[in-house]
Structure 1
Amino acid sequence: MSTSAAVATAVTFVWMGMVLAISFVEAPLKFQAPGVTVPIGLGIGRLVFRVLNLVEGLFALVLLIAGVTHMPGTSVMVAAASAVGALLVQLTVVRPHLSRRSDVVLAGGDAPYSLAHHWYIALEVLKIAALLVTGSLLLAE
Protein backbone atom coordinates (compact mmCIF):
# COMPACT_ATOMS: atom_id res chain seq x y z
CA MET A 1 0.00 0.00 0.00
CA SER A 2 1.40 3.38 -0.99
CA THR A 3 1.75 6.21 1.51
CA SER A 4 -1.09 8.13 -0.19
CA ALA A 5 -3.38 5.11 0.02
CA ALA A 6 -2.47 4.56 3.69
CA VAL A 7 -3.19 8.21 4.52
CA ALA A 8 -6.48 8.09 2.61
CA THR A 9 -7.50 4.91 4.42
CA ALA A 10 -6.65 6.33 7.85
CA VAL A 11 -8.41 9.62 7.15
CA THR A 12 -11.48 7.78 5.89
CA PHE A 13 -11.86 5.70 9.04
CA VAL A 14 -11.05 8.58 11.41
CA TRP A 15 -13.63 10.74 9.60
CA MET A 16 -16.21 7.96 9.91
CA GLY A 17 -15.45 7.55 13.62
CA MET A 18 -15.81 11.26 14.27
CA VAL A 19 -19.20 11.39 12.55
CA LEU A 20 -20.42 8.33 14.46
CA ALA A 21 -19.19 9.68 17.80
CA ILE A 22 -20.46 13.22 17.42
CA SER A 23 -23.66 12.83 15.41
CA PHE A 24 -24.95 9.63 16.95
CA VAL A 25 -23.52 9.71 20.48
CA GLU A 26 -22.68 13.25 21.62
CA ALA A 27 -25.49 15.15 19.92
CA PRO A 28 -28.44 13.23 21.37
CA LEU A 29 -26.83 12.66 24.78
CA LYS A 30 -26.03 16.30 25.52
CA PHE A 31 -29.74 17.09 25.89
CA GLN A 32 -30.05 14.38 28.56
CA ALA A 33 -27.33 15.84 30.79
CA PRO A 34 -28.59 17.49 33.99
CA GLY A 35 -29.00 21.25 33.67
CA VAL A 36 -28.62 21.37 29.89
CA THR A 37 -31.45 23.44 28.49
CA VAL A 38 -32.42 23.49 24.83
CA PRO A 39 -30.68 26.86 24.24
CA ILE A 40 -27.48 25.63 25.94
CA GLY A 41 -27.61 22.36 23.99
CA LEU A 42 -28.12 24.25 20.74
CA GLY A 43 -25.20 26.55 21.52
CA ILE A 44 -22.94 23.59 22.23
CA GLY A 45 -24.20 21.76 19.16
CA ARG A 46 -23.54 24.71 16.87
CA LEU A 47 -19.97 24.97 18.11
CA VAL A 48 -19.29 21.23 17.96
CA PHE A 49 -20.77 20.80 14.48
CA ARG A 50 -19.01 23.90 13.15
CA VAL A 51 -15.67 22.38 14.19
CA LEU A 52 -16.67 18.89 12.99
CA ASN A 53 -17.61 20.28 9.59
CA LEU A 54 -14.32 22.17 9.37
CA VAL A 55 -12.38 18.98 10.14
CA GLU A 56 -14.54 17.07 7.65
CA GLY A 57 -13.66 19.63 5.01
CA LEU A 58 -9.98 19.11 5.74
CA PHE A 59 -10.42 15.34 5.54
CA ALA A 60 -12.20 15.72 2.19
CA LEU A 61 -9.28 17.80 0.95
CA VAL A 62 -6.80 15.15 2.12
CA LEU A 63 -8.83 12.48 0.29
CA LEU A 64 -8.79 14.60 -2.86
CA ILE A 65 -5.03 15.07 -2.67
CA ALA A 66 -4.49 11.38 -1.91
CA GLY A 67 -6.77 10.46 -4.81
CA VAL A 68 -4.75 12.59 -7.20
CA THR A 69 -1.42 11.16 -6.03
CA HIS A 70 -2.59 7.55 -5.61
CA MET A 71 -5.21 7.28 -8.40
CA PRO A 72 -7.42 4.63 -6.79
CA GLY A 73 -10.01 2.64 -8.70
CA THR A 74 -13.28 4.10 -9.91
CA SER A 75 -15.30 2.47 -7.14
CA VAL A 76 -13.12 4.14 -4.48
CA MET A 77 -13.53 7.49 -6.20
CA VAL A 78 -17.31 7.11 -6.43
CA ALA A 79 -17.61 6.12 -2.78
CA ALA A 80 -15.37 8.98 -1.61
CA ALA A 81 -17.24 11.44 -3.85
CA SER A 82 -20.50 10.26 -2.27
CA ALA A 83 -19.19 11.09 1.21
CA VAL A 84 -17.91 14.47 0.08
CA GLY A 85 -21.16 15.15 -1.76
CA ALA A 86 -23.21 14.35 1.34
CA LEU A 87 -21.05 16.78 3.32
CA LEU A 88 -21.50 19.50 0.71
CA VAL A 89 -25.29 19.09 0.74
CA GLN A 90 -25.28 19.26 4.52
CA LEU A 91 -23.22 22.45 4.53
CA THR A 92 -24.93 24.29 1.69
CA VAL A 93 -28.55 23.13 1.87
CA VAL A 94 -29.47 21.60 5.23
CA ARG A 95 -27.28 23.46 7.72
CA PRO A 96 -28.57 26.94 6.76
CA HIS A 97 -32.12 25.74 7.59
CA LEU A 98 -30.93 24.37 10.92
CA SER A 99 -29.08 27.60 11.68
CA ARG A 100 -32.14 29.76 10.99
CA ARG A 101 -34.26 27.54 13.21
CA SER A 102 -31.74 27.54 16.06
CA ASP A 103 -31.39 31.34 15.73
CA VAL A 104 -35.11 31.65 16.49
CA VAL A 105 -34.89 29.30 19.49
CA LEU A 106 -31.76 31.01 20.86
CA ALA A 107 -33.54 34.37 20.56
CA GLY A 108 -36.32 32.97 22.77
CA GLY A 109 -38.81 32.28 20.00
CA ASP A 110 -40.78 29.21 19.07
CA ALA A 111 -39.46 27.70 15.86
CA PRO A 112 -41.84 25.67 13.71
CA TYR A 113 -41.21 21.97 13.20
CA SER A 114 -38.66 21.26 10.51
CA LEU A 115 -37.58 18.16 8.62
CA ALA A 116 -34.05 19.56 8.34
CA HIS A 117 -32.78 17.39 11.22
CA HIS A 118 -34.10 14.29 9.50
CA TRP A 119 -32.35 15.26 6.27
CA TYR A 120 -29.13 15.93 8.17
CA ILE A 121 -29.30 12.52 9.86
CA ALA A 122 -30.08 10.77 6.56
CA LEU A 123 -27.05 12.45 5.00
CA GLU A 124 -24.93 11.40 7.99
CA VAL A 125 -26.00 7.77 7.45
CA LEU A 126 -25.18 8.08 3.75
CA LYS A 127 -21.81 9.63 4.60
CA ILE A 128 -20.95 6.85 7.07
CA ALA A 129 -21.89 4.18 4.52
CA ALA A 130 -19.83 5.91 1.82
CA LEU A 131 -16.84 6.25 4.15
CA LEU A 132 -17.08 2.60 5.20
CA VAL A 133 -17.14 1.52 1.57
CA THR A 134 -14.29 3.91 0.68
CA GLY A 135 -12.08 2.66 3.51
CA SER A 136 -12.89 -0.99 2.83
CA LEU A 137 -12.11 -0.63 -0.87
CA LEU A 138 -8.86 1.17 -0.09
CA LEU A 139 -7.84 -1.67 2.21
CA ALA A 140 -8.64 -4.21 -0.48
CA GLU A 141 -6.49 -2.48 -3.14
Structure 2
Amino acid sequence: MDHVAVALVFCWLGMVVAISFIEAPLKFRAPGVTIRLGLGIGRIVFRALNAVETVLAADVLVTVLFGHPTVPALTLTGAAVAVLVLQLGVIRPWLSRRTDRVLAAPDGQDPPRSRAHLAYVAAESVKVLVLLALGVLLSMV
Protein backbone atom coordinates (compact mmCIF):
# COMPACT_ATOMS: atom_id res chain seq x y z
CA MET A 1 0.00 0.00 0.00
CA ASP A 2 2.94 2.37 0.68
CA HIS A 3 4.04 2.28 -2.96
CA VAL A 4 0.57 3.53 -3.95
CA ALA A 5 0.87 6.41 -1.48
CA VAL A 6 4.33 7.26 -2.83
CA ALA A 7 3.03 7.30 -6.40
CA LEU A 8 0.06 9.48 -5.43
CA VAL A 9 2.25 11.94 -3.51
CA PHE A 10 4.77 12.32 -6.34
CA CYS A 11 1.97 12.66 -8.90
CA TRP A 12 0.46 15.44 -6.78
CA LEU A 13 3.87 17.06 -6.35
CA GLY A 14 4.61 16.90 -10.07
CA MET A 15 1.31 18.50 -10.98
CA VAL A 16 1.80 21.37 -8.54
CA VAL A 17 5.34 22.06 -9.73
CA ALA A 18 4.38 21.82 -13.41
CA ILE A 19 1.37 24.11 -13.19
CA SER A 20 2.22 26.55 -10.41
CA PHE A 21 5.91 27.02 -10.99
CA ILE A 22 6.29 26.36 -14.72
CA GLU A 23 3.05 26.91 -16.66
CA ALA A 24 1.61 29.80 -14.67
CA PRO A 25 4.54 32.19 -14.90
CA LEU A 26 5.49 31.20 -18.46
CA LYS A 27 2.07 31.83 -19.98
CA PHE A 28 2.46 35.55 -19.34
CA ARG A 29 5.66 35.57 -21.40
CA ALA A 30 3.99 34.11 -24.49
CA PRO A 31 3.45 36.56 -27.36
CA GLY A 32 0.01 38.11 -27.34
CA VAL A 33 -0.98 36.91 -23.88
CA THR A 34 -2.38 39.87 -21.99
CA ILE A 35 -2.92 40.00 -18.23
CA ARG A 36 -6.64 39.45 -18.79
CA LEU A 37 -6.12 36.49 -21.11
CA GLY A 38 -3.53 34.97 -18.79
CA LEU A 39 -5.83 35.36 -15.79
CA GLY A 40 -8.74 33.81 -17.69
CA ILE A 41 -6.59 30.84 -18.69
CA GLY A 42 -5.14 30.60 -15.19
CA ARG A 43 -8.60 30.51 -13.63
CA ILE A 44 -9.54 27.50 -15.77
CA VAL A 45 -6.20 25.71 -15.30
CA PHE A 46 -6.11 26.21 -11.53
CA ARG A 47 -9.74 25.16 -11.13
CA ALA A 48 -8.84 21.89 -12.87
CA LEU A 49 -5.60 21.52 -10.91
CA ASN A 50 -7.36 22.09 -7.60
CA ALA A 51 -10.05 19.53 -8.49
CA VAL A 52 -7.38 16.94 -9.25
CA GLU A 53 -5.46 17.94 -6.12
CA THR A 54 -8.58 17.40 -4.02
CA VAL A 55 -8.94 13.86 -5.36
CA LEU A 56 -5.24 13.15 -4.90
CA ALA A 57 -5.28 14.58 -1.36
CA ALA A 58 -8.21 12.35 -0.44
CA ASP A 59 -6.50 9.33 -2.01
CA VAL A 60 -3.21 10.07 -0.22
CA LEU A 61 -5.01 10.53 3.08
CA VAL A 62 -6.91 7.25 2.77
CA THR A 63 -3.87 5.35 1.51
CA VAL A 64 -1.63 6.65 4.29
CA LEU A 65 -4.25 5.99 6.98
CA PHE A 66 -4.71 2.39 5.86
CA GLY A 67 -0.99 1.76 5.42
CA HIS A 68 0.10 1.61 9.08
CA PRO A 69 1.32 5.22 9.14
CA THR A 70 4.04 6.63 11.32
CA VAL A 71 3.52 9.87 13.21
CA PRO A 72 5.74 11.82 10.76
CA ALA A 73 3.77 10.42 7.80
CA LEU A 74 0.47 11.41 9.43
CA THR A 75 1.85 14.85 10.28
CA LEU A 76 3.10 15.52 6.76
CA THR A 77 -0.10 14.19 5.20
CA GLY A 78 -2.15 16.41 7.48
CA ALA A 79 0.05 19.39 6.64
CA ALA A 80 -0.33 18.86 2.87
CA VAL A 81 -4.10 18.54 3.19
CA ALA A 82 -4.25 21.58 5.50
CA VAL A 83 -2.32 23.74 3.02
CA LEU A 84 -4.67 22.67 0.23
CA VAL A 85 -7.71 23.46 2.38
CA LEU A 86 -6.24 26.88 3.19
CA GLN A 87 -5.66 27.53 -0.49
CA LEU A 88 -9.12 26.43 -1.56
CA GLY A 89 -11.03 27.96 1.33
CA VAL A 90 -9.20 31.24 1.87
CA ILE A 91 -6.61 32.15 -0.75
CA ARG A 92 -8.42 31.05 -3.94
CA PRO A 93 -11.56 33.08 -3.11
CA TRP A 94 -9.30 36.08 -2.40
CA LEU A 95 -7.56 35.54 -5.76
CA SER A 96 -10.89 35.08 -7.53
CA ARG A 97 -12.14 38.45 -6.28
CA ARG A 98 -8.95 40.06 -7.60
CA THR A 99 -9.31 38.29 -10.95
CA ASP A 100 -12.95 39.41 -11.17
CA ARG A 101 -11.87 43.03 -10.62
CA VAL A 102 -9.13 42.81 -13.26
CA LEU A 103 -11.44 41.18 -15.81
CA ALA A 104 -14.19 43.75 -15.15
CA ALA A 105 -11.90 46.80 -15.30
CA PRO A 106 -11.94 48.97 -18.43
CA ASP A 107 -9.15 48.29 -20.92
CA GLY A 108 -5.81 49.58 -19.72
CA GLN A 109 -6.96 50.01 -16.13
CA ASP A 110 -5.81 47.23 -13.84
CA PRO A 111 -6.78 47.42 -10.17
CA PRO A 112 -3.92 47.78 -7.69
CA ARG A 113 -1.74 44.76 -7.07
CA SER A 114 -2.89 42.21 -4.53
CA ARG A 115 -1.00 40.20 -1.94
CA ALA A 116 -3.22 37.20 -2.60
CA HIS A 117 -0.86 35.99 -5.31
CA LEU A 118 2.10 36.08 -2.94
CA ALA A 119 0.09 34.18 -0.32
CA TYR A 120 -0.77 31.52 -2.91
CA VAL A 121 2.87 31.17 -4.02
CA ALA A 122 3.98 30.91 -0.39
CA ALA A 123 1.38 28.22 0.30
CA GLU A 124 2.37 26.37 -2.90
CA SER A 125 6.01 26.49 -1.83
CA VAL A 126 5.17 25.04 1.57
CA LYS A 127 3.01 22.36 -0.06
CA VAL A 128 5.81 21.40 -2.45
CA LEU A 129 8.26 20.99 0.43
CA VAL A 130 5.75 19.00 2.49
CA LEU A 131 4.88 16.72 -0.43
CA LEU A 132 8.54 16.16 -1.23
CA ALA A 133 9.27 15.26 2.40
CA LEU A 134 6.21 13.00 2.55
CA GLY A 135 7.11 11.23 -0.69
CA VAL A 136 10.67 10.62 0.44
CA LEU A 137 9.52 9.47 3.90
CA LEU A 138 6.96 7.04 2.47
CA SER A 139 9.45 5.66 -0.04
CA MET A 140 11.87 4.80 2.77
CA VAL A 141 9.37 2.67 4.67
TM-score of the superposed pair, with normalisation by structure 2: 0.94
Equivalence for 1:9: 6
5 Å-filtered alignment, 1:68-107, equals 68-107=65-104
Report how far residue 68 of structure 1 moved.
2.5
Q: How far apart are 1:104 and its partner, in Å?
A: 0.8
- 1:44 matched to 2:45? The reply is no
Q: Is the CA contact (8 Å cut-off) linking 2:65 and 2:74 kept in structure 1?
A: no
What residue number does 1:129 align with? 129
What TM-score, normalized to structure 1? 0.94
The alpha-carbon deviation at position 67 of structure 1 amounts to 2.0
Give yes or no for the alignment of 1:115 onto 2:112: no
The number of residues matched between the two structures is 138
Which one of the candidate residues 49, 53, 63 is aligned to 1:66?
Answer: 63
The superposition leaves residues 7-35 of structure 1 with CA deviations (integer Å, 9 ceiling, x where unpaired) of 11001011111111110110000001011
Identity in percent: 50
Moved over 6 A (4+): none
SS in 1 for 2:66: helix
**Aligned-pair CA distance for 1:36:** 0.7
Higher deviation after alignment, 131-140 or 61-70: 61-70
- Give the AA of the match of 1:136: V
Q: Is the 8 A contact 2:105 2:111 kept in 1?
A: no
| 5+ long unaligned stretches in structure 2 | none
Return the offset for 1:112: 2.3
Gaps in structure 1 of 5+ consecutive residues: none
Alignment of 1:17-36 (within 5 A): 17-36=14-33
- Report the RMSD for the aligned CA atoms in angstroms: 1.0
